[in-house]
Amino acid sequence: MRIGELARRTGSSERALRYYEEQHLLHPVRRPSGYREYAEADVRRVHSIRMLLAAGLGSAVIAEVLPCMTDNGEVLVPACAGLAPVLADERDRIDAAIEDLRGARRILDAIVQVAAEAEPTPEICAVS
């Protein structure tokens, strides 16, 4: 199938599919005409890529773990020994990012509170 058909069947944009190829996540066959030709298995592969992206993994980590994953139809299942520590490290990275965002939210909440209680100073305020 060509890229447009794969995009339609996976809900991905053609641009995203080209990006996946650039990141070595997809490996379509190139026809003499230059067109990409995708296999039926690429539909499942794109779904797996999108699931791992939704889980917060970057394309470099996905390239590392995707060959060690199988799709049971509902969820991706690690199929290689030693994959758990890689996934746990990614989870820890996401947890740290969440904590950073919570800290930023606390600071912004404090600023919003002070701003809500402050008297406006029209001559220096350009925000409406």
Tens digit of pLDDT for each residue in 26-68?
999 999 998 999 999 999 999 999 999 999 999 999 999 999 9
Residue with tokens 């067109």: 35
Say how far apart CA 5 and CA 14 lie, in whole Å. Answer: 9
pTM for the whole structure: 0.79
Give the CATH number, domain containing residue 4. Answer: 1.10.1660.10
Q: Which domain holds residue 96?
A: 81-128
Tell me if 53 sits within 8 A of 76, measured CB to CB. no
Nearest to 64 by CA among 39, 42, 90, 41: 90
Q: What is the pLDDT of residue 77?
A: 87
Instruction: Tell me, yes or no, whether 74 and 87 share the same domain.
Output: no
Number of domains in the chain: 2
3 lies in the same domain as 60: yes
The Cβ of residue 102 has, within 10 Å, a number of other Cβ atoms equal to 10
